[in-house]
């Protein structure tokens, strides 16, 4: 870990390699975990509870984000915190058949309490997120019951968290590809260590993606 005491952009870890669904079983061996891949825009949030910077993966500010998303609440003190995740902005249909929009889904944490978590392994960061945002799947709101199979709720307005799965990758893939808001899965090596995000291509050697298969139409 190294100190992170002021806003400096960090490129998010991003999978570059992809596999077909038929190869998922080769990663289902206890050395990897998977998270759902959501259909939205990759988003990085930098905040100390007062200052707030929301960027996309190309180092461009996302000034158009919805003000109802409690990004500043992601700071657990007046120190710096940096999260990477997906901004659901495309209005894709969710599990309940309703369009999902203007929500931030956390995948990973890069900075915690002024410390850039370089050198920390994936399992340590997943545990930190789980302790901070325990995964709950349902709650009663003013609009009725809000429930998800493959998305975790948090106590922050319009902030959610990606669940992490240890096994059953092929079945999970078959379940989620039925829903428009999911693009597939991201597979991550458990003992991988976070490296610096000073350039756009980073931390790609410990994660791969498995997207929905594209239909080919013949005319």
pLDDT digits (tens, 9 = 90+) for 147-173: 899 999 999 999 999 999 999 999 999
Task: Please give the pLDDT value at position 125.
Answer: 96
Its pTM stands at 0.92
Q: Report residue 144's pLDDT band, with 50, 70 and 90 as the boundaries.
A: confident
Q: Report residue 191's pLDDT band, with 50, 70 and 90 as the boundaries.
A: very high
Residue with tokens 């940096």: 82
Task: Please give the pLDDT value at position 218.
Answer: 52
pLDDT digits (tens, 9 = 90+) for 80-93: 999 999 999 888 99
Q: Phi and psi dihedrals of 172, rounded to 5?
A: -60, -45
DSSP string, 50-95: SSEEEEETTS-B-TT--TTS-GGGG-SSSS-EEEEEEEE-S-EE-T
């Amino acid at each position: 870990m190294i100190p992170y005491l002021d806003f400096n952009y960090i490129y998010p870890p991003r999978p570059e390699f992809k596999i077909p669904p038929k190869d998922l079983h080769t990663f289902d061996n206890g050395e990897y975990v998977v998270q759902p891949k959501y259909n939205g825009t990759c988003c990085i949030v930098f905040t100390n509870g007062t200052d707030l910077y929301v960027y996309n993966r190309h180092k461009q500010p996302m000034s158009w984000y919805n003000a109802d998303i409690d990004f500043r609440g992601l700071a657990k003190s007046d120190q710096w915190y940096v999260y990477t995740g997906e901004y659901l902005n495309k209005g894709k249909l969710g599990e309940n058949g309703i369009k999902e929009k203007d929500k931030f889904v956390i995948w990973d944490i890069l900075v915690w309490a002024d410390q850039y978590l370089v050198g920390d392994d994936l399992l340590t960061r997943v545990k930190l997120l789980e302790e901070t945002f325990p995964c709950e799947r349902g709650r009663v709101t003013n609009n009725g019951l809000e429930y998800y199979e493959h998305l975790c709720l948090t106590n922050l307005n319009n902030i959610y968290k990606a669940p992490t799965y240890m096994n059953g990758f092929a079945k999970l893939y078959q379940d989620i590809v039925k829903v428009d808001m999911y693009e597939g899965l991201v597979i991550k090596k458990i003992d991988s260590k976070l490296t610096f995000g000073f350039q756009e291509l980073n931390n790609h050697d410990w994660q791969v993606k498995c997207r929905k298969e594209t239909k080919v139409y013949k005319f």
